[in-house]
Structure formats: C-alpha cells, structure tokens
A and B are shown apart, each in its own frame.
Chain A
Amino acid sequence: MSSGSLLLHYLRPQAPRVGLLALLVLSSIAMQLINPQIIRYYLDTAQSGGAERSLLLAAALFIAFALAQQVLSVAALYISQEVSWSATNRLRADLALYCLRLDLSFHKRHTPGELIERIDGDVTGLANFFSEFAIRILGNVLIVIGILFFLFRENTILGLGLAAYCLATLIALAVFQRLAVPRWAAARQASANQYGFLEERISVSEEFRAIGVEAYMIYRLLRLMRIYLEKYRLAFLMGTLTTNLTNLFYVIGYTIGLSLGIILYLRGQVTIGTAYLIVFYVGMLAGPLQSIREQAQDFQQAAASASRIQELLQTQPAVQDLRVLPTNNRSASDFFPSEGPSSVEFQGVSFRYENGENTLYDVSFHLKPGRVLGILGRTGSGKSTLARLLFRLYDPNSGVICLDGQDIRLSLISDLRQREGMVTQDVQLFHASLRNNLTFFNRRISDDQLLQAFNELRLSDWLGRMPHGLDTPLAAEGQGFSAGELQLLAFTRIFLKNPGLVILDEASSRLDLVTEALLEQAIQRLFLNRTGVIIAHKLQTVQRADDILILEKGRVVEFGPRLSLAIDPSTHFYKLLQTGLEEALS
C-alpha cells in the first residue's frame, strides 16, 4: 500500500464530511478575495463623490463577508479536525493490533517507546498534516492563484511581476528550509539524548549516592545540555532567519506593489482605489506564501512518518497461521479438546534465537495428560525458551511440538493460546480497573464468572478488602500489591481462561509466608485436572512435579518420573539433591 492509498483507505468512510469541508474552504477563500474589491469600489466611489447609499451598502457588505468568512473558517477547522482524528484513530488501532501480532523478536529489537513513536507520534504527524492540508495548502494555493488572477486582470505586467515574485519567494524559502531541516533533526536528537539520560536516572538517586557518582552524573548532564544548547540555538537561528527571509520578501513584494500601484496611478492607468487594491492584495500574498512553505516542511515530515508506518506494515511475523482456513467453519474444539488436561510432546525440537542465545538442541519428551513436569536448569539453559515455543511465541527451527497429540503449527495461533495458560514471574498490570486487569479487557467475561474464580482460589476475602471491588483502579506499577498478590491475580486470569495446560515460570521466589501459603492453595486448585509445567532454577520449586526434565545448555540431560530419578544415584537429579543436602547440612 502506498502512502496515498493508505490515506485514501482511512479517508473513504469520511467522504461526505470531506466534501462539506471543501465547500466551506472554497467559500471562505472566495470571500477573502472579494473583500478588497469592495474596498476599491468604496474608495473610488467616495473619491468621485458617489452616493452615500452605495458607500454604506459597500461597507455593510464588507462587514458581512468578513464575519461570514470567520464563521466558515472556524467550521472548516472543526470539520477537518474531526475527519483527521476519526481516520487516524482507526489507523492507530490497526497499527497497534498489527504490532501486537508481530513476533517477540521484533519487540526485542524495538522498545515500547520506539513503537509508541510509530503508532502515536508518526500517526499524529500525519493527522496534523491532513487536518490542515485542506485548509492550509489547498486554501493558500487557491488564495495565491486568486490574487494573481485579480492582479493580472488589472495589469498584465503587474501580474507577471508578482507571479515571478511568488515563485522567487517559494524557491528561496525552500532553499533555506533545506538548510534548516538537518539543524532541526540535530536539535531533536540532542533533546532526545538529554531527556533519555534524565529519564533513566531520576528514579535511582540512591544508587548514585551509595557509590558517590552524583557529581559525575551532573557532569554528564552538563555535557548533554551543552550540545542541546548549541544545537537548539543554531536551529532556532535558522528558523528566525527563515522567518526573517519571509518578512524580507514581504517587504520586497510590498515595495514592488506600492511602486507599481503608484506608477500606474500617476500614469492614469488605474484609479487611486485600484492602486490601493494592488497594495492590499500584495500584502495578502505574504501570509499564504509563508503557510505554503511551512506546510511543505510538514509535508516532508508527514511523508517521512508515512514511510515509517509503511515500513512497519511491511514487517511480517515469522510465526503465522500456517493454513488459511475459513475460520467460521471450525472452532477450537475441532482441533483441540475444549476441556480436560492436555498432553505435551516435543519431538527433536531445535531452536536458536536470532542473536544465538539460549539455544535448544534436539529436545524430545512426552508429558502425559494430568501430570506435572518440573523443568530444572541454570539460567540460560533454555527453560523459558521451551515455554515460549509451546505458545508459538517462536517456532522451532526443526522438530515438532504437539499439544493434545496435534502439531501446534497446524492449529490457529488463537486456538492454541486459548488452550494454554502461563504465569510468569513478572506480572503485567494495566492502568485500568481490577476487572479489566483480570479479564484482559474481554467484556464477554461476566462479573459472576470473576467472583466464582475468586471463590475457587479462596481469594474472596482479599477481593472484599479492595476499596471498590472489581472497579478498583490499579496503577500500572502495581503499587500497593505485594509480589505474591500480583501472582494471585495472574492465577485468576488463568482460571478464567480454563486451559488444559498451565505453565508456571519461577513462580514462587521471594515471597512472604502468608502469601506463599495462599499461592500454594491456588496452585493446587490450578493444577487440578490440568497438565502442568513448572519452570524453576531452584530445587524447592519442583516439589510437586511428577516428572523431571533437566536442561543443560539447551540439551535434555535427563527426563523421567521424579521419584525414580531421586533414588537413582547415577542421575543428575540425585546429584542435585545431594548438593542441596550438603548445602543444607554444612
């Protein structure tokens, strides 16, 4: 999709309003062009001692047109804003959805801040441009053309001279602008560096004090500020020069208009009213010319924004639904059972990230329905990777992963993820109500279902303590909640989803005893009649596992029932227990 068709796609539903907008802008321009003509008529009539009635009529007409023109311009502004915000909000939502569906590797490369800049910053750039495009570029071009037309009507040389003047002004401004744009880019970069530096550091003053580097941090800020100051002053100077250049051209144009008007008048070719009309029109030229230049600059920025959006839309997720199936023809139940514990099977699965970290080699194991698997291994051994593959956050380079005996690559991603649930150590909260945080904004989940989930997890008392129940607003930073409470919330999310497979990623480190007891209960409820996977790098977290899988540098070094591994002195698991034991008894 090109930038133009992208724009058209989102503007099409707004067609009637766009039409109305065009009408308003055109009428407003016509009035602006006619009013000086009224003044000329007035001056000439007055000078030649014309009837007072016609003078008053002209004056009244002038005022009426002037007021009407203001009303039209406010209306046009309002409609253009309405059009552009409605259109770009749709674009924002579509882009956001597109981004969310892109691979995790994409999100690893692009920080949320960067994507906010794409989804909101660039789109707002487009919005500003298009909301003003109609009024300013089109309007101003038409005004300039209209003025030149009227000037030609008065005198051909006059028209030619001023047309040349307009052209020269635009060229000179464009040249200047080309000089200014890189200065502005440099200034913005300096600003981003300065605020980026501050943003990362203003919440960690304790750490700086504890190692005595405050003075050094101020030193670094001063260095960034120096660059900021130099770049900005230069950019502003260029901006001022450009403005001054515009003013200079205005002066030149006005002088030309004044001289020509007077010459023509002295030669008796035009009346004094016409001479004034010429001066008035030439005065009117400056504003639109300046606007056109500014808009040209906005146009470049909008074009850059549009091309960045295009680029984003060209990124294809590596993980996709493999088959294009008529979705209404099948549901999750066709592929996966809708209830009961799942089975999990890895057959010779190998995977490596783009950056080559945490690779998995030839991982195979089979987990029967209803059993709980404990995965052990050091940081970087590939435990979390294994879980991510199960959710198709990535696809393996080779090998097959089956859920409920079905190759997960053949299922719809959405079906697969409905069948699985995961609790991670970092529980993500949104700046929204407790309800929305639990349902993930899914309005189809009723409050009754929510309350039932709380009940099942023995959390009703906890809910009772929330000041506004399910409507209690949560802060994004989860303030006021302990780590354990946040995990309990995550469990409720899973309960609502009712999957056949639950994955717990290092769920119970660093908790106090009360919360740990609550969590114990909740885990028990959660694993009831479900298949479970517990990922941990501490021995104590796998106490409830039926089977044990030990990963080392991406390879399975051991897999089997926990009880039999624990009593066999030749196993790694046995040795791990011994280390723990020695640790405990020393």
Chain B
Amino acid sequence: MTTIPTNPSELHNHSIKTWVFNWHIIRYQPYSYTIHSIFTILGFCLQVVPGLIVKSIFDSASGQAASALSLWALITLYGLVELVRLGLSLGSEWYGWTFRLVVGGLLRRNLFASILRRSAHTPLPVSSGEAINRFRTDVGEVADFPLWLPDQVGKILAALVAVVIMARINLSITMIIFLPLFTIVIITRLTWGRILYYSRLSGQTTDAVTGFLGEMLGAVQAVKIADAEKEVVAHFLALSEQRRLAQLHFSFFRGLLDAVNSSAVTFGIGVMLLLAGKGISDGTFTVGDFALFVSYLWFTTQVPSELGTFMGDYKIQEVSIERLLEMVRPEPSHRLLERHPVYQHGPIHLPPIPTRNNENHLERLEVRSLTYTHPEFFRSTTDHPSSTPGASQARDDSNFPVGITDISFIVPRGEFVVITGRVGSGKSTLLRVLIGLLPNSGGEILWNGEVVRDPASFFRPPRCAYTSQVPRLFSDPLRENILMGLPEDQIDLPGALYQAVLWQDVEQLDRGLDTMVGPKGVRLSGGQIQRVAAARMFVRAAELLVFDDISSALDIETENTFWDRLIGARSNINLDKTATFQSPTVIAVSHRLAALRRADRIIVMKNGRIEAEGQLGDLLQTSQEMQRLWKGEIDRSNNHRS
C-alpha cells in the first residue's frame, strides 16, 4: 500500500517521458510488436517493386529496352509480388491488433485497479463520464501509437529507395517534383493546428449537446411538470447549432488538408508533363519511366505530410498519457504500467474468498486520538456523480468529509454503539477514517490491543464490513448485487435476506433474486437499496459491522424490525450455529430514535469532537447536545400535536 501524499505540490511530480512510456508498453508485448514491425516494414519496402515491373513491361512492349524476362513472366511476377504484400499486410494487422488490444487491456485494468484503491480524500479529478472517455479514447490512442513507428520507418525507407531510383532515371525532374513538398510540410503543420483546435471544439460542443440531452431526459418529469418542454428543446437546439459550426470548420480544414496532400501527386505529374516532353520525344525518358514515376508519386509524396501527422500524434499521445496519469495520481506513474496478466488465453480464476478464523476474531476495538483534516482543495473537486447521467439530485452535505479531532473510544465485542450528532458534526468522517476509507492525520486504532498499521487493508471482510450512507446498486441481478463474487453455496443468503428485512421485497419482485436491478434494471426504492446494501454486508459475515445511516430511508416499522433482528442476532449467539451472524459488533451512525433507543452506548459528536459518551438515559441528563438532538427528533415526531 502506498502512502498518500497530502501536499498538492507533491501530486504532480509523477510524470514519465513519452518515449519511456512507449518503451515500457512495447516490452510488455515484445513478440507481437516485433512481428508486426517486420511485416509492416517489409510490406512497405516491397511497394517499390511493382513500379519497376510496370516500367519493364512498358519499355519492353514499346521496344525501348530489352527485358530479361518475357512480357508474360513480368505480368505474373507483378501479381506474385502484390500477393506477397497482401499476405504481409494481413499478418502485420493481426499482430498489430493483438498488441493494441492486449496493451490497452493492461492499461484499462491498471487504471481500474488504481481507481479502486482511491479514497474520497483524493477524489477522481474528472467526472465519471469523462473518466470513461479516457478509458476508451486515451487508452486507445496510447496503445495505438507505438504501431506508428514501424509504419513510418517502412514508408520512409520505401520512399528513399523510390527517390533514388527516380533520381537515377532523371535527376532534374525528380528534384523539381520533390523540392516543393517542403511547402506542403509547412502547410500541413499549420493546418494541423486548426484541425486540432476544431476537433477539440467539436468534441466540447458534442459533449455539451449530449450532456444536456441526458440532463433533459433524466429530468423528464420535472420538465413536464414545469410545462417547459419547448423552452428546454430550444436551448438544446441552440447548443446543437454551436456544434454544427465547430463541425463545419473541422471538416473544412480536414478536407483542405486532404486536398493539399493529393495535390502533391497531381502537381508531380504536372511537373513531369511540363519537363519530360522532350525526353519522351528523343527517347531519354520512356513511357515506362513515366509509368514508374506516376506509380512512385502516390506513396512518396505522402511521406512528408504523414511525418507531420506522426509528430502531431506524438503530441496527442503525450496529452493522452498525461490524461491517464492524472487518473492514477497520487499514485506513482509506474502503477499504470505494472505488469499483470490480461488473460489472452487460459482460465481466469475467481479471487480467493476471505474466511473467518481465530486470527481476525474481535475482542476489543480501541480508537486513540484519531484525527482527520481534509485537504483544502477538496471542496472544489468532483464528488460522486449521480447514477443517472446528467440530471441529478441534491447531495447530502455530510458527503464532504468534515474534519475530526482527537477521537478516542473503546468498543468491546458484541456491543451496539451508535454515533450521533448534527449534520456536519463529523459522524460519517469518523467511520470512514476508522476503517481507512480516509487516511487519518493522527492517532491510532487498536484491534485486540494491537495497533492497526494500515486500516485500509485491515478493515475489510472477514474482520469488518461497511455500508455507506447512499449505497449503490449495479446493473446485475439482485443476487449478484448481494453476493458480489461469494459462492452462494458457502454462505447463508436466506439468513442475510432475513436479517436485512428484505425477504418480502424479494418475493414481490417478478423474478425474485434474479431480477435485474440497478440503473438498467428495476428501480428499487431508497429504503430497499439500503437493505440490499445491508444484505451485501451480512453475507460477508464480518466481525465488525459499520453502518452509516443505514435506516435513513426506512419507514419506522421496517427500521424497528431491522434493528431488532440485528440485536436478536447478537443475543442468539448460542442458538445460531450456522455461524453467519455470530455475535456481530456494531458501530452505526444514526440520529433516529429507533437506533438510539437500542444502543448499548451512544457517542455524541459535535464540531468534529466527541461531545459526550454513555448510555441514553445518562446522556439525556448530562449532555446538552444529546438533549438538543433528542428534543429535535422528538419534535419531529410530535410537531403534529400543536
């Protein structure tokens, strides 16, 4: 586990030179890359041969030069050479695609793994839509670039050979054809600037169009209720028109560039026509030479502009690499290039399932002077984007980590501890720092008296399981949403469903546990989602259960049942031999009466510190903050009486 630097200036030190990066990815796939390169270079060099053959054919047919081979042998040879080139190109493509896909796979795997290690302390610097865009296009760009190198080498070699042959036939014509090409290089470079600009602009305007479209469709109910369909669509049309202009400019410059490039060929032919007339009349420049020049012009004149494109691509790749590294930071850049199998062949094995044993048995959890200060820049960056694209709902303030200071408490085995406090008092932060989702800036955590060195890797099943305030479901069957890789035959799924008060809900679904849920499936209510998340936790049978406001969307009756069953599980230790719910120790953030009433102990937070701690009855007599919170909850229930 790497340490996470908190100082922003440290974050930008991890960069890597573009060529070093390329060298690394080439070394990951050396065989496919080498074979691809050999095939590509050979294929391009063979381009020179057909021109020579055609020249011989014309020359021997017109009797201007005798040929060692007969006309028909030459024509057959021509066909054979072309067939060999086809074969080479097929091979080079196959290995090229293998390289792209395998290297791309590795980069995507490493990016995803890095994101999974990321904490809310250093959130992803881009929205999830943008992140996916980088997974797709930037990874594609980066994995594609090394393949351009043999391409360029092959083309340049072929062009050099061709130019030498042409120069030996007629030096002056060759020079006059090729000298103006340098202007084309300059025009190409200039035009590329415009093309890149407008390509970015049309990317941005397209994002604006599709982004707004998504927001508008996500908010369809709100739009209908506001009777604002026409107005919203008018705005959409205005955004679309901006995109049209950007696209028009882009295509114009693109077309201009293409035109300039193909002009090079026709210009070359034109020059030849102007200069070769006399040569053809007196036989020093044959029709065969003419045919050879025309055939060579097609590939030699493209080299300068392709070289320009290649340099442009180098820049693009540099940007893409940077965009990928940005998603890996604050981890060092080598984590993006770590070597892992991407399983082109062979079985992919399920990761091992953690099992409960005596080693991770919890007797006593102790927290000493735990402190967390969030970095200044946090508020300006993106937090969790909403699940529907575009349109979204209000985020609870407590999703921003509030700082906590000097928190100490002890939880013995089997206790039900409730942490409560006002909005912004640091309850959620405390939980997240405790289990290592946020890095602590001071203090220590002891598990059975031993200091936990790395909470992030320690507090996970089978020791600990946690559910966030707003849990997520994924577009999978409900069963998969709960199990997430656990083998169903080795765990107590019905028990977990019972425990999570989810049985009835499951029975009401059309296809029960096989019902597709999540964004692309049946939409469950907030309370149902919270209980699915609870079940997800319960199947993991952890020693310590940590809930962040799990019951906030439950109605009172369901909430009571939920806590009763959890407490029941604790008191029925000896009855329940299936071992799924052996005496869990519970830490829960809640402000609800149902939880407070059942707590063995309550920790009251205020402004990031522990304000009071004890049993409900005592706290209500001694702690003003507890009285205030309690009164607030009671008022919420009793207001109707006034």
Contacts and interface: CB of A to CB of B under 8 A. Distances in A.
Given A262-B61, A431-B215, 13 more contacts: A70-B263, A78-B252, A85-B243, A85-B248, A100-B229, A104-B220, A116-B389, A211-B466, A228-B101, A258-B75, A391-B225, A431-B390, A442-B228
Given A59-B274, A391-B225, A200 B460 contact: no
Interface string B505-531: 000001000000011100101010000
A205 B115 contact: yes
A436 B472 CA distance: 31
A401 to B, nearest CB: 15
B248 A539 contact: no
Given A210-B437, A213-B484, A104 B397 contact: no
A483 interface: yes
Contacts of A60: 274
Contact of A441 (B61, B86, B232): B232
B593 A203 contact: no
A525 B350 CA distance: 59
A294 B425 CA distance: 63
A414 interface: yes
A184 B528 CA distance: 39
Contacts of B228: 440-442
20 contacts: A43-B287, A49-B281, A52-B278, A70-B259, A73-B255, A77-B255, A81-B251, A85-B244, A96-B233, A107-B220, A195-B132, A211-B460, A211-B466, A237-B93, A247-B82, A417-B227, A428-B215, A429-B391, A476-B215, A584-B633
A337 interface: no
Given A207-B468, A210-B437, A540-B640, A483 B395 contact: yes
Interface in B306-354: 342-344, 348-351, 354
A236 interface: yes
A562 B243 CA distance: 56
Contacts, number: 468
B217 interface: yes
Given A255-B75, A562-B640, A579-B556, A216 B351 contact: yes
Contacts of A388: 221
Interface residues of A, number: 164
Interface string B195-237: 0000000000000111111111111111111111111111111
Interface residues of B, number: 174
B392 A202 contact: no
Contact of B79 (A255, A272, A486, A509): A255
B635 A540 contact: yes
Interface in B346-376: 348-351, 354
A333 interface: no
A223 interface: yes
A493 B537 CA distance: 41
Interface stretch (B380-388, B446-454, B578-586): B380-388
B9 interface: no
Contacts of B119: 205-206
Given A74-B256, A213-B484, A216-B485, A222 B385 contact: no
Contact of B468 (A73, A210, A237, A428): A210
A259 interface: yes
B28 interface: no
Given A66-B267, A379-B527, A583-B556, A222 B120 contact: no
B593 A262 contact: no
A237 B109 contact: no
Contacts of A39: 269, 273
A512 B636 contact: no
Interface string A493-511: 1000100000000000111
Interface string B472-499: 1011000000001100000000000000
B259 A73 contact: yes
A52 B282 CA distance: 12
B606 to A, nearest CB: 13
Contacts of B379: 480
Contact of B460 (A50, A196, A209): A209
